[in-house]
Chains A and B, each alone.
Chain A
Amino acid sequence: MISVNEVVKRFPAKGEDVIAVNRVSFSVAAGEVFALLGPNGAGKTTTLRMLLGLLEPTSGEIVVDGWSVSRDPEEVKRRIGLVSASTGLYQWLSPRETLSFFADVYGVPPDVAAGRIEVLAKLLDFGRFIDRRCGNLSTGQKQRVSLARALIHDPPLMLLDEPTRGLDVVGTQVIFEYLGELKRSGKAVIISTHRLDEAERFADRFGLLHLGELKYLGTMPELRQKTGCQSLVEMFSQLLGRSLMKVEA
């Protein structure tokens, strides 16, 4: 479904260029949840933005459902549903208007969109406030609408960038249920988070990014075997410890 090959992203800066992502490669299959993990500044969001076609890779190639991000960015965008860290809703529109608008943007016929909005309202339980203005909704309610917005065009690939940031226990639980639904429907899911404990619960495979490089890649048993650590938290402590020691040396 998704293949990321030797992708590099440099940001021009005075003096030396900043390498935000350095030769990162991984792939994600349909029905698989892939967690892209790392501390702040590891390159998670930059990688996701390149996947989305919002940033151009300096080199390397990203292919989504057979379409190259560099050559056919619009075809790639059409196949991706994005849940960003910010809820990203128009405060003067209602959830129904927001979803209808994005359905239109993604080319979903109005009658099909209307049916989907009803399904999503039941699935994510926002029917009670579907005609209220988004600006008047709580953070959790906004998050539900945002999750629905990403699904309105029924994309085969979902990208979730820090979806649990700022959410309480109930909100986080909604995300877990959402991920379960995505998995059941056979979508490829890439989730970026620094909540390692949560990631362990829902992801099938993991990519551990640090300073723009993909340090570890594999399932939980594979990572345990490679690192000798039992949990993702331990693996990261080990990784960061080594890095700190390198700096001190």
Chain B
Amino acid sequence: MSIFGRVDSESAGSIPAGKRGARPLSNLGRWWRLAQKELRETLRDRRTMVTLILMPLLTYPLLGSVLQKLVIAEAPIGVNPEYRIVCEDEVALGSLQSVLNNSQALIASKKGLLATKQAADALRPENNKEVGQQESLPDVEQTEPLLEFYSLQTLPAELQGHGDTLEELVTSQLVELGCRRSTVTTATGATKQVFQLVYHQNSGLSQDAYFWVDERFRLMNEEFGRRLASQQNPPAELPAEQQVVTVGEAQRAAYSLSALVPMMLILMTVTGAVYPAIDLTAGERERGTLETLVAAPLPRLGILLAKYIAVVAVSVLTGAVNLLAMFVTVLATGADRALFGEQGITLSVMLLMLVMQTIFASFFASVLLAVTSFARSFKEAQAYLIPVMLVALTPGIASLMPGFKLEGVWLVVPLLNLVLLTRDVFAGEWSLPAIVVALGTSVVYTLGSLSLASRIFGTDAILTGTGEGSGLGQLRRSNPQPGPRLVAGWISLALLLPTFVVLSGLAGRWETASMEARLTLSSIITVGLFVGVPLVGIWLERAQVGASLAMHWPVVSGLVAAILFGVSLWPFAFELEQFTLPAERVEALIKMFGSFKLQLQETSLWVKLLALAVVPAICEELYFRGYLFTAFRGDTPTGLGEVAPLEKANRRWGPVPTIVATAVLFGAFHVLVRGSLFWERFLPSTGLGLVLGTLRARSGSVIPGIVMHVLHNSSVLLLAHFEKQILGTSFGQIHGEHLPWPILVGAGVLACGGVLWLVGTNDQRFARLKSGSA
């Protein structure tokens, strides 16, 4: 049956009848080759090269010249800048003027100006009317500043009363530069002058004054070195050493690098990623290559991953070219100090920008692919992307607002968290937890976007132009499914995470309402998110509700184990929290939740049990161990602990990765409380999630988990409610101390019972379950 009989045998490439063919692209190397093909195609396209190379080459010189004009425009037009320099005493004043005079003469001689002598004469102290009286340097060049020298003892009236020290005067911004002078004796016995210069970091004029003086010191010292090396006409004075003292904020508000970088990165990323994202999705359909690609034996998520790699690579390449062009332009125009502060633009700053740009590109590429996957043509994709790009620029503007801090809700808002993180990293104000949360949530959004893209890319509606029209209908599958797919799980997470944080944060801030009203709102949010989102997902997948949420009557052994775990695990969770919590954090938490706890004490126990124990337990179990577990695992429990034999096409993750992943996500959700981060909750919640996940895997049902979760939450709540009574008993202190050993021993015995019941049972249904999920 081969057309290639002469060149290859059946064993060398043809597919044997009735046997599975070689798994194509089953390893990373092959996926990389698929990505390489996408990259090759994109990079050969002239339009990509235009955005990649021509745009930066044209844009940055243009921007550079505009910025240069803006920097110059800072000074009043037609008037040279005025620098007021105050020295600590008259000796310092004289010495500084001497150095500046000599440097001016040196500059003039180097430039061969005829006005050399005149300039130097004008600067000589003996020509000054009086020390301390207003002095100004003559205009040697058009851009030379006008200098006013004072000493602390001879300050004019308008400068008096603003401080007694140089630092105070410079901080008041009435003086641009302060100067102290001291002398040191070198090893050879010579005397060397040491000048200490004080300037304001947050004042452009003060910085410029410092740069101006600094440049002259550098010139004089270089000249000394040059003459010394040539041994001709050795200088009479040793070079002056200078020390710098800065006052004020560490950054300049007008041109803060940290505030500007996020916007620059957004623009660079969008420039590079938009075209390949459209071309590799909508363009593929328009060229007629989509059909042949999706007809190949490749999972759609894999195809999308290859495209994702290509889009990220092109975007990063564009970013690198942009950064290079910017680097050269800024250096060439001399705008580096004005734009990036005293340190100017350094290689490390550029590398850091490239790293952040890669992070931006990784996030943006997935979002762009998700959006363009909906489009049936290039034009349609462009129309979809315009609002996306406008929305993407908004967080860039937020980074310019100093009041916007990377905390609370902003930690999980897509893109905004990356923008604020970038700003903080460049300002040197980053914190590790914030980086972890911002990057972690961005990874979830990226996976969610890619899952959505793979869900849409090449589907009936895109391929044939048919479907249920627009909106959610287009996302809905045409045929029923037994349970949610993996991509549906990721999409639900990407939707749920930010919504949960924002809504729970809002509920927490509704402090004027009664506790009952707040608890009711909290319950509505919990039900709406943890049950509503999965139900929408099930509707879109045309899946079975019972099977998707694993809502089946469980085996009795599972229920017994759940009850034992439910009443015995809280002491361990408590102890784990105690071990990981420092004393000062306990105090802080007590202060933070003090009033909340008091209000809660006055609320009816039944209301609390319903709102804080039962509703969250049921909803969280339905989502984490029901919907998400089924999506990750790919099993569809059929009831009474039985799991449908896993079809090859449905087989996804093993039981252990599924349990661990759902537990970690469960733990992560519990870290976010009322818009704040509570890291101490991560380990106990993840531990609880591991037990709940094991129960789900073993029983094939979500119900034992619900029973255990309700009992666990209720135990903790009852303990808090009856805290006073408990404190009156021999149980001892709860806060800051460990639980008495009888409680821990009793809980340990019950927990061991639960484990034994779960593991050691001879229940035939468990045996079937094990064989079904192997």
A residues near B (Cβ < 8 Å) are 10-14, 18, 30, 46, 49, 52-58, 65-66, 71-75, 77-80, 82, 84, 86-93, 97, 101-102, 104-109, 112-113, 115-116, 118-119, 123, 133, 149, 151, 153-156, 181-182, 185-187
Q: Is the CB of B464 within 8 A of A71?
A: no
- B295 close to chain A: CB less than 8 A: yes
Q: Is the CB of A116 within 8 A of B13?
A: yes
Complex-state Cα separation, A149 to B295, whole angstroms: 12
Write 10 A-B pairs (CB below 8 A) sorted by A numbering. A56-B478, A73-B649, A75-B20, A86-B291, A104-B34, A112-B13, A113-B13, A123-B3, A154-B4, A185-B3
Chain B residues closer than 8 Å to A55, beta-carbon distance: 460, 463-464, 478
Chain B residues closer than 8 Å to A90, beta-carbon distance: 37, 41, 287, 289
Complex-state Cα separation, A107 to B463, whole angstroms: 25
Complex-state Cα separation, A46 to B26, whole angstroms: 29
B residues near A (Cβ < 8 Å) are 1-8, 12-15, 17-18, 20-26, 30, 33-34, 37, 40-41, 44-45, 287-292, 294-299, 458, 460, 463-464, 466-469, 473, 476, 478-479, 647-649
How near does chain A come to B45, taking the closest CB pair, in angstroms? 6
Complex-state Cα separation, A108 to B15, whole angstroms: 10
Complex-state Cα separation, A14 to B467, whole angstroms: 10
Partner of A79, one of B15, B44, B473, B478: B15
Partner of A156, one of B15, B20, B37: B15
Q: Is the CB of A119 within 8 A of B15?
A: no
Best-buried of B15, B460, B468 by chain A (most CB within 10 Å): B15
Chain A residues closer than 8 Å to B647, beta-carbon distance: 71
Chain B residues closer than 8 Å to A57, beta-carbon distance: 479
Complex-state Cα separation, A224 to B300, whole angstroms: 45
Q: Is the CB of A156 within 8 A of B13?
A: no
* Known A11-B460, A72-B649, A77-B297: A154·B15 in contact at CB below 8 Å: yes
How near does chain B come to A20, taking the closest CB pair, in angstroms? 8
Partner of A105, one of B24, B290, B478: B24
How near does chain A come to B578, taking the closest CB pair, in angstroms? 52
Complex-state Cα separation, A49 to B458, whole angstroms: 12
Chain A residues closer than 8 Å to B5, beta-carbon distance: 185
Q: In the complex, given contacts A54-B463, A106-B297, what are 16 additional A-B residue pairs having Cβ atoms less than 8 angstroms apart?
A: A13-B468, A18-B466, A56-B478, A80-B295, A88-B290, A88-B292, A91-B287, A102-B292, A105-B25, A105-B34, A116-B4, A119-B3, A119-B6, A154-B8, A154-B15, A185-B1
Complex-state Cα separation, A158 to B427, whole angstroms: 62
Q: Is the CB of A11 within 8 A of B467?
A: yes
Complex-state Cα separation, A156 to B2, whole angstroms: 8
Chain A residues closer than 8 Å to B649, beta-carbon distance: 71-73
Chain B residues closer than 8 Å to A156, beta-carbon distance: 1, 15, 17
Complex-state Cα separation, A248 to B253, whole angstroms: 79
Residue of A nearest to B476 (CB): A12
Residue of A nearest to B23 (CB): A107
Complex-state Cα separation, A149 to B33, whole angstroms: 18
Chain B residues closer than 8 Å to A65, beta-carbon distance: 17-18
Chain A residues closer than 8 Å to B15, beta-carbon distance: 78-79, 153-156
* Known A14-B469, A93-B37, A115-B7: A49·B2 in contact at CB below 8 Å: no
Chain B residues closer than 8 Å to A123, beta-carbon distance: 3
Chain A residues closer than 8 Å to B464, beta-carbon distance: 46, 49, 55
Complex-state Cα separation, A58 to B33, whole angstroms: 35
